[in-house]
Amino acid sequence: MTKRQSSAKRIRFTGLLIMLIVYMFPFLLVVVNSFKAKRDVIKDPLSLIGAEGFSAENYALAFKRMNFLRVFGNSLFITVVSVALIVVFSSMTAWFFTRNKWKLNKLLFSLMVTSMVIPFQVLMIPIVSIYGMKFHVLNNPWTLIFMHVGFGVSMGTFMFSGAITSSIPVELEESATIDGAGRFRRYALIVMPLLKSTTVTLVIIDALAIWNDYLLPSLILVKKDLYTLPIAAQAFHGDFSSDYGLMMAGMIMTVIPILILYLALQKYIIEGVVTGAVKG
């Protein structure tokens, strides 16, 4: 390695390190302040240890006030069911669209891709008005799951469609058909196993989005017993008084489960994104 190449490498490393510090600084600030008393957080949020010392009391108090086990169960149920339905419906839809080159399928696929650019904020008031005032189905986790699936299937179909086109030959399915495999058996035993990386990538993307979502659950779930973790953590913020230490402890407790999932499955992300982005 020449001296010039070595210098360029050090410059790149320094630049990436600075970017990492800037990116991680807000998260580290939340972690540090979650161990401080309310007074210390307000007085000096940048200090590593507050005047009253280092304490894990915020976590114990936040766990109790959030009713953590219940809201954790609510978030887990909504996330797992929503992600599972998104994966199943979007993979089936993508497989059907890819293997049947009908004009109607092309039109429907185009409409689904187009719908991905529509922001949720444009739809939230009509949705709440229709489901709340007309159908009276708010305060129901299944209503929230239904909406998450509706918003997530389009992207899933797009990713699976590219993956099926680029990595699953039609001849493989034709051979299975000759051997007597039916449509659903081909889907379960041939198509889905070959979509592993794309499936894991979609699971991570949707699980992160649904688990951390605040806006949609706050519109649908009003009763405290139905709160998800982000809503429960936000409850420490009031109009006249906010306990920032408890709020930050609640945020850390909310992030840890989904962070573990991400770290466990991160090796599949790049492979899945690249595979799903290639479309013939």
- In this prediction, residue 207 carries a pLDDT of 92
Q: What is the pLDDT of residues 215-244, one digit of tens each?
A: 889 888 888 889 999 898 877 776 445 777
**Is residue 5 scored above 60 in pLDDT?**
yes
Overall average pLDDT of the 53-75 stretch: 88
d(CA 62, CA 33): 14
Query: How far is CA 221 from its chain centroid?
Result: 19
Please give the biggest Cα pair distance in the chain: 75
- In this prediction, residue 275 carries a pLDDT of 52
**Is residue 2 scored above 80 in pLDDT?**
no
- In this prediction, residue 272 carries a pLDDT of 55
Question: If you average pLDDT over every residue of the chain, what do you get?
Answer: 84
Domains of the chain: 61-277 (1.10.3720.10)
d(CA 21, CA 17): 6
Amino acid, res. 210: I
d(CA 237, CA 144): 24
d(CA 228, CA 236): 14
Cβ burial 1-28 (10 Å sphere, 16+ → b, else e): eeeeeeeeeeeeeeeeeeeeeeeeeeee
Q: Could you give phi then psi for residue 224, rounded to 5 degrees?
A: -60, -35
- In this prediction, residue 280 carries a pLDDT of 43
Q: What is the pLDDT of residues 148-204, one digit of tens each?
A: 999 999 999 999 998 888 888 888 888 888 878 888 888 888 888 888 888 988 998
In this structure, the dihedral spanned by the alpha carbons of residues 221, 225, 229 and 230, taken in order and rounded to 10 degrees, is: 40
Q: What is the pLDDT of residues 105-139, one digit of tens each?
A: 889 999 998 888 888 878 887 877 787 777 778 88
Question: Which pLDDT band, with edges at 50, 70 and 90, does 271 fall under?
Answer: low
- In this prediction, residue 240 carries a pLDDT of 45
d(CA 47, CA 122): 41
Question: Percentage of the chain surpassing pLDDT 70?
Answer: 93
Contacts of 270 (CB under 8 A, 6+ apart): none
**Helix boundaries (H) for the chain:** 3-33, 38-43, 57-65, 68-99, 103-115, 120-128, 141-167, 170-178, 183-186, 192-194, 196-212, 215-220, 229-234, 244-265, 269-277
Give DSSP secondary structure letters for 194-237: HTHHHHHHHHHHHHHHHHH--HHHHHH--SGGG--HHHHHHTTB
pTM over 0.85: no
Block residue for tokens 């994104």: 273
